[in-house]
Protein backbone atom coordinates (compact mmCIF):
# COMPACT_ATOMS: atom_id res chain seq x y z
CA UNK A 1 0.00 0.00 0.00
CA UNK A 2 1.57 3.33 -1.00
CA UNK A 3 1.95 5.87 1.79
CA UNK A 4 0.31 9.26 1.55
CA UNK A 5 3.77 10.72 0.91
CA UNK A 6 4.32 8.36 -2.02
CA UNK A 7 0.87 9.18 -3.34
CA UNK A 8 1.56 12.89 -3.29
CA UNK A 9 4.99 12.55 -4.88
CA UNK A 10 3.50 10.70 -7.83
CA UNK A 11 0.52 13.01 -8.30
CA UNK A 12 0.71 16.14 -10.42
CA UNK A 13 -1.34 18.00 -7.83
CA UNK A 14 0.98 17.04 -5.00
CA UNK A 15 2.55 20.46 -4.60
CA UNK A 16 -0.76 22.27 -4.24
CA UNK A 17 -2.17 19.59 -1.92
CA UNK A 18 0.77 19.96 0.45
CA UNK A 19 -0.56 23.38 1.44
CA UNK A 20 -3.86 21.93 2.69
CA UNK A 21 -4.67 21.19 6.33
CA UNK A 22 -4.57 17.41 7.12
CA UNK A 23 -8.34 16.91 6.83
CA UNK A 24 -8.58 18.85 3.61
CA UNK A 25 -5.53 17.01 2.31
CA UNK A 26 -7.19 13.64 2.85
CA UNK A 27 -10.40 14.80 1.15
CA UNK A 28 -8.52 16.28 -1.80
CA UNK A 29 -6.44 13.10 -2.16
CA UNK A 30 -9.61 11.01 -2.17
CA UNK A 31 -11.09 13.16 -4.93
CA UNK A 32 -7.96 12.74 -7.07
CA UNK A 33 -8.05 8.97 -6.58
CA UNK A 34 -11.72 8.90 -7.57
CA UNK A 35 -11.10 11.00 -10.67
CA UNK A 36 -8.24 8.73 -11.67
CA UNK A 37 -10.64 5.77 -11.65
CA UNK A 38 -8.98 3.96 -8.72
CA UNK A 39 -11.32 2.59 -6.04
CA UNK A 40 -11.29 4.39 -2.66
CA UNK A 41 -10.19 1.10 -1.08
CA UNK A 42 -9.67 -2.54 -1.99
CA UNK A 43 -11.30 -5.53 -0.34
CA UNK A 44 -9.55 -8.57 1.18
CA UNK A 45 -10.71 -11.68 3.04
CA UNK A 46 -9.71 -12.46 6.61
CA UNK A 47 -9.27 -16.19 7.21
CA UNK A 48 -11.24 -15.93 10.45
CA UNK A 49 -14.38 -15.49 8.32
CA UNK A 50 -14.11 -19.24 7.67
CA UNK A 51 -13.14 -20.30 11.19
CA UNK A 52 -16.01 -22.76 11.64
CA UNK A 53 -15.22 -24.42 8.31
CA UNK A 54 -11.51 -24.57 9.16
CA UNK A 55 -12.01 -25.95 12.67
CA UNK A 56 -14.44 -28.58 11.39
CA UNK A 57 -11.73 -29.92 9.10
CA UNK A 58 -13.80 -29.24 5.98
CA UNK A 59 -11.32 -26.61 4.76
CA UNK A 60 -7.59 -27.35 5.23
CA UNK A 61 -5.50 -24.23 5.76
CA UNK A 62 -3.65 -24.96 2.54
CA UNK A 63 -6.89 -24.55 0.59
CA UNK A 64 -7.71 -21.10 1.95
CA UNK A 65 -6.18 -19.03 -0.91
CA UNK A 66 -8.11 -21.02 -3.52
CA UNK A 67 -11.31 -20.72 -1.50
CA UNK A 68 -10.80 -16.95 -1.27
CA UNK A 69 -10.36 -16.76 -5.04
CA UNK A 70 -13.61 -18.65 -5.66
CA UNK A 71 -15.36 -16.11 -3.42
CA UNK A 72 -14.02 -13.27 -5.55
CA UNK A 73 -11.06 -12.05 -3.48
CA UNK A 74 -7.58 -11.17 -4.74
CA UNK A 75 -6.01 -10.57 -1.30
CA UNK A 76 -6.07 -12.51 1.98
CA UNK A 77 -5.25 -12.19 5.68
CA UNK A 78 -4.17 -15.32 7.55
CA UNK A 79 -4.76 -16.44 11.16
CA UNK A 80 -1.96 -18.33 12.90
CA UNK A 81 -4.38 -20.62 14.76
CA UNK A 82 -5.00 -22.56 11.56
CA UNK A 83 -1.37 -23.50 10.91
CA UNK A 84 0.45 -23.22 14.23
CA UNK A 85 2.65 -26.23 13.51
CA UNK A 86 3.65 -24.97 10.04
CA UNK A 87 5.29 -21.66 10.93
CA UNK A 88 8.81 -23.02 10.34
CA UNK A 89 7.85 -25.45 7.58
CA UNK A 90 8.95 -23.52 4.52
CA UNK A 91 8.03 -26.40 2.27
CA UNK A 92 4.41 -26.04 3.39
CA UNK A 93 4.60 -22.24 3.25
CA UNK A 94 6.08 -22.53 -0.23
CA UNK A 95 3.04 -24.53 -1.32
CA UNK A 96 0.83 -21.75 0.06
CA UNK A 97 2.74 -19.27 -2.09
CA UNK A 98 2.38 -21.45 -5.17
CA UNK A 99 -1.35 -21.76 -4.65
CA UNK A 100 -1.66 -18.01 -4.17
CA UNK A 101 0.22 -17.38 -7.39
CA UNK A 102 -1.94 -19.91 -9.21
CA UNK A 103 -5.13 -18.31 -7.89
CA UNK A 104 -4.02 -14.70 -8.38
CA UNK A 105 -4.22 -14.02 -4.64
CA UNK A 106 -1.95 -11.62 -2.73
CA UNK A 107 -0.90 -12.22 0.89
CA UNK A 108 -1.34 -9.19 3.16
CA UNK A 109 -0.77 -10.19 6.77
CA UNK A 110 -0.86 -12.88 9.44
CA UNK A 111 -2.98 -12.39 12.56
CA UNK A 112 -1.24 -13.89 15.60
CA UNK A 113 -2.78 -14.94 18.91
CA UNK A 114 -1.66 -17.09 21.82
CA UNK A 115 2.05 -16.19 21.69
CA UNK A 116 2.34 -14.42 25.03
CA UNK A 117 1.70 -10.90 26.29
CA UNK A 118 3.88 -8.29 24.61
CA UNK A 119 3.16 -6.05 27.60
CA UNK A 120 3.80 -8.67 30.28
CA UNK A 121 4.70 -7.16 33.65
CA UNK A 122 7.44 -9.77 33.99
CA UNK A 123 10.37 -8.68 31.80
CA UNK A 124 11.62 -12.22 30.98
CA UNK A 125 8.07 -13.24 30.03
CA UNK A 126 7.78 -10.16 27.82
CA UNK A 127 11.06 -11.06 26.13
CA UNK A 128 9.77 -14.61 25.52
CA UNK A 129 6.59 -13.22 23.99
CA UNK A 130 8.67 -11.11 21.60
CA UNK A 131 10.78 -14.15 20.76
CA UNK A 132 7.65 -16.23 20.12
CA UNK A 133 6.56 -13.78 17.44
CA UNK A 134 9.83 -13.86 15.49
CA UNK A 135 9.12 -17.08 13.52
CA UNK A 136 5.81 -15.55 12.47
CA UNK A 137 7.62 -12.47 11.21
CA UNK A 138 9.82 -14.79 9.15
CA UNK A 139 6.78 -16.63 7.80
CA UNK A 140 5.05 -13.34 6.95
CA UNK A 141 8.11 -12.13 5.10
CA UNK A 142 8.37 -15.42 3.18
CA UNK A 143 4.72 -15.18 2.13
CA UNK A 144 5.16 -11.60 0.94
CA UNK A 145 2.96 -10.00 3.59
CA UNK A 146 3.31 -6.38 4.64
CA UNK A 147 2.38 -6.85 8.32
CA UNK A 148 2.08 -9.10 11.34
CA UNK A 149 -1.01 -8.45 13.47
CA UNK A 150 -0.40 -8.84 17.21
CA UNK A 151 -2.24 -8.14 20.48
CA UNK A 152 -1.64 -5.41 23.04
CA UNK A 153 -2.01 -7.55 26.15
CA UNK A 154 -0.76 -6.44 29.57
CA UNK A 155 -1.73 -5.98 33.23
CA UNK A 156 -1.64 -3.23 35.82
CA UNK A 157 -2.80 0.37 35.74
CA UNK A 158 -3.61 2.33 32.58
CA UNK A 159 -0.16 3.91 32.60
CA UNK A 160 1.68 0.69 33.48
CA UNK A 161 0.00 -1.25 30.69
CA UNK A 162 0.66 1.57 28.24
CA UNK A 163 4.37 1.65 29.05
CA UNK A 164 4.89 -2.10 29.09
CA UNK A 165 2.96 -2.69 25.89
CA UNK A 166 4.72 0.17 24.10
CA UNK A 167 8.06 -1.35 25.08
CA UNK A 168 7.17 -4.79 23.76
CA UNK A 169 5.72 -3.39 20.55
CA UNK A 170 8.70 -1.15 19.93
CA UNK A 171 11.13 -4.03 20.34
CA UNK A 172 9.09 -6.31 18.09
CA UNK A 173 8.73 -3.51 15.54
CA UNK A 174 12.51 -3.19 15.43
CA UNK A 175 12.64 -6.89 14.51
CA UNK A 176 9.90 -6.31 11.96
CA UNK A 177 11.83 -3.42 10.46
CA UNK A 178 14.81 -5.70 9.89
CA UNK A 179 12.52 -7.86 7.76
CA UNK A 180 10.70 -5.00 6.02
CA UNK A 181 7.49 -5.74 7.94
CA UNK A 182 5.02 -3.76 10.02
CA UNK A 183 3.78 -4.83 13.44
CA UNK A 184 0.13 -3.83 13.80
CA UNK A 185 -2.23 -4.02 16.76
CA UNK A 186 -5.94 -4.75 16.62
CA UNK A 187 -8.44 -3.54 19.18
CA UNK A 188 -8.92 -7.03 20.56
CA UNK A 189 -9.96 -7.14 24.20
CA UNK A 190 -8.82 -5.62 27.48
CA UNK A 191 -7.60 -2.04 27.31
CA UNK A 192 -6.81 -2.51 23.61
CA UNK A 193 -10.58 -2.19 23.00
CA UNK A 194 -10.34 1.35 24.35
CA UNK A 195 -9.41 3.50 21.36
CA UNK A 196 -7.94 6.29 23.48
CA UNK A 197 -5.60 3.90 25.31
CA UNK A 198 -4.42 2.11 22.18
CA UNK A 199 -3.75 5.43 20.44
CA UNK A 200 -1.64 6.44 23.44
CA UNK A 201 0.29 3.16 23.13
CA UNK A 202 1.03 3.93 19.47
CA UNK A 203 2.41 7.34 20.36
CA UNK A 204 4.46 5.86 23.20
CA UNK A 205 5.88 3.08 21.00
CA UNK A 206 6.80 5.74 18.44
CA UNK A 207 8.13 3.44 15.72
CA UNK A 208 7.33 3.88 12.02
CA UNK A 209 6.77 0.12 11.66
CA UNK A 210 4.28 0.02 14.54
CA UNK A 211 0.65 0.69 13.66
CA UNK A 212 -2.94 -0.39 14.13
CA UNK A 213 -5.55 -2.62 12.53
CA UNK A 214 -8.83 -0.94 13.50
CA UNK A 215 -11.66 -3.48 13.73
CA UNK A 216 -15.22 -2.18 13.33
CA UNK A 217 -16.61 -4.37 16.09
CA UNK A 218 -14.02 -5.26 18.74
CA UNK A 219 -14.80 -2.54 21.27
CA UNK A 220 -16.20 -4.72 24.07
CA UNK A 221 -14.73 -3.44 27.36
CA UNK A 222 -16.29 -6.23 29.41
CA UNK A 223 -19.05 -6.18 32.05
CA UNK A 224 -21.55 -5.06 29.44
CA UNK A 225 -19.61 -1.88 28.62
CA UNK A 226 -18.76 -0.89 25.06
CA UNK A 227 -16.44 1.77 23.74
CA UNK A 228 -17.97 3.90 20.99
CA UNK A 229 -16.92 2.07 17.82
CA UNK A 230 -16.95 5.14 15.60
CA UNK A 231 -14.86 7.17 18.02
CA UNK A 232 -12.51 4.23 18.50
CA UNK A 233 -11.91 3.73 14.78
CA UNK A 234 -11.39 7.47 14.35
CA UNK A 235 -8.77 7.44 17.13
CA UNK A 236 -6.94 4.46 15.62
CA UNK A 237 -7.01 5.43 11.94
CA UNK A 238 -4.00 7.82 12.08
CA UNK A 239 -1.85 4.74 12.78
CA UNK A 240 -3.71 2.24 10.56
CA UNK A 241 -1.87 -0.03 8.15
CA UNK A 242 -4.88 -2.35 7.69
CA UNK A 243 -8.61 -2.23 8.47
CA UNK A 244 -11.03 -5.00 9.47
CA UNK A 245 -14.71 -4.76 8.49
CA UNK A 246 -16.25 -6.95 11.19
CA UNK A 247 -19.76 -8.19 10.43
CA UNK A 248 -22.33 -10.34 12.23
CA UNK A 249 -25.90 -9.89 11.05
CA UNK A 250 -27.68 -8.31 8.08
CA UNK A 251 -31.19 -6.95 7.52
CA UNK A 252 -33.34 -7.55 4.44
CA UNK A 253 -31.66 -4.65 2.64
CA UNK A 254 -28.22 -6.20 3.11
CA UNK A 255 -27.14 -3.67 5.74
CA UNK A 256 -25.04 -4.76 8.71
CA UNK A 257 -27.19 -4.38 11.82
CA UNK A 258 -24.48 -3.46 14.34
CA UNK A 259 -22.31 -1.08 12.34
CA UNK A 260 -23.22 1.75 9.99
CA UNK A 261 -20.77 0.90 7.22
CA UNK A 262 -21.25 4.25 5.45
CA UNK A 263 -20.40 6.22 8.54
CA UNK A 264 -17.49 3.92 9.37
CA UNK A 265 -15.95 3.92 5.90
CA UNK A 266 -16.15 7.70 5.71
CA UNK A 267 -14.09 7.79 8.90
CA UNK A 268 -11.58 5.37 7.37
CA UNK A 269 -11.21 7.38 4.16
CA UNK A 270 -11.14 10.76 5.91
CA UNK A 271 -7.91 9.60 7.57
CA UNK A 272 -6.30 9.22 4.15
CA UNK A 273 -6.35 5.41 4.20
CA UNK A 274 -6.36 3.80 0.76
CA UNK A 275 -5.35 0.20 1.47
CA UNK A 276 -7.37 -3.00 1.87
CA UNK A 277 -10.46 -3.32 4.03
CA UNK A 278 -10.73 -6.92 5.18
CA UNK A 279 -13.99 -8.86 5.30
CA UNK A 280 -14.23 -10.54 8.71
CA UNK A 281 -17.59 -12.23 9.07
CA UNK A 282 -18.23 -13.60 12.55
CA UNK A 283 -21.98 -14.17 12.57
CA UNK A 284 -23.97 -17.36 12.87
CA UNK A 285 -27.32 -16.57 11.29
CA UNK A 286 -26.20 -17.54 7.81
CA UNK A 287 -23.47 -19.76 6.38
CA UNK A 288 -19.94 -18.42 6.37
CA UNK A 289 -19.94 -18.24 2.57
CA UNK A 290 -23.16 -16.23 2.61
CA UNK A 291 -21.93 -13.94 5.40
CA UNK A 292 -18.75 -13.28 3.45
CA UNK A 293 -20.76 -12.55 0.30
CA UNK A 294 -23.08 -10.17 2.15
CA UNK A 295 -20.16 -8.30 3.73
CA UNK A 296 -18.27 -8.02 0.46
CA UNK A 297 -21.40 -6.85 -1.35
CA UNK A 298 -22.05 -4.17 1.28
CA UNK A 299 -18.47 -2.92 1.10
CA UNK A 300 -18.65 -2.76 -2.68
CA UNK A 301 -21.99 -0.95 -2.60
CA UNK A 302 -20.77 1.67 -0.13
CA UNK A 303 -17.47 2.01 -1.98
CA UNK A 304 -19.32 2.71 -5.24
CA UNK A 305 -21.49 5.31 -3.50
CA UNK A 306 -18.45 7.07 -2.06
CA UNK A 307 -16.61 6.99 -5.38
CA UNK A 308 -19.68 8.37 -7.20
CA UNK A 309 -19.83 11.22 -4.69
CA UNK A 310 -16.19 12.08 -5.37
CA UNK A 311 -14.75 10.59 -2.18
> For residue 13, what pLDDT is reported?
39
Pick the more confident residue, 123 or 35: 123
Q: What's the sign of the alpha-carbon dihedral 259, 214, 42, 79?
A: negative
Confidence category of residue 151, pLDDT binned at 50, 70, 90: very high
The DSSP element (H or E) to which 18 belongs, if any, is none
Assign 311 a pLDDT band (cuts: 50, 70, 90). low
- Best CA proximity match to 73, nearest among 268, 286, 259, 292: 292
Q: Do the Cβ atoms of 211 and 241 come closer than 8 Å?
A: yes
- The yes or no reply on domain 41-308 and CATH 3.40.50.300 is no
CA 24 distance to own-chain centroid = 25
Determine the pLDDT at residue 191: 97
Task: Find all residues with CB under 8 Å of 184, minimum gap 6, and list them.
Answer: 109, 147, 148, 149, 150, 210, 211, 212, 213, 240, 241, 242
Nearest partner of 72 among 262, 308, 289, 307, judged by Cα = 289
Q: What is the pTM of this model?
A: 0.88
* pLDDT tens column, 125-140: 999 999 999 999 999 9
Which tens digits make up the pLDDT trace of 186-224?
999 999 999 999 999 999 999 999 999 999 999 999 999
Where is pLDDT greater, at 254 or 23?
A: 254
Tell me the per-residue pLDDT of 76-120, one tens digit each, with 9 for 90 and over: 999 999 999 999 999 999 999 999 999 999 999 999 999 999 999
At 4 the pLDDT is: 36
Say if residue 20's pLDDT is above 70: no
Amino acid sequence: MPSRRTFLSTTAAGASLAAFAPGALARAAAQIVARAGAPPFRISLAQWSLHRTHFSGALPALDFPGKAATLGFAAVEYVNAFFLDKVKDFGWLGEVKRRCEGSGVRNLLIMCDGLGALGDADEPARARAIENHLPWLDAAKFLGCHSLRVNAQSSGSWEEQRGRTADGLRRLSEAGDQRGLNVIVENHGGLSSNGKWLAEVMRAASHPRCGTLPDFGNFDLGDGRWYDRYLGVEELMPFAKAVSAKSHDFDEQGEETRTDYRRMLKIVLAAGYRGHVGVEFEGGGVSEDEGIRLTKSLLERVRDEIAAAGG
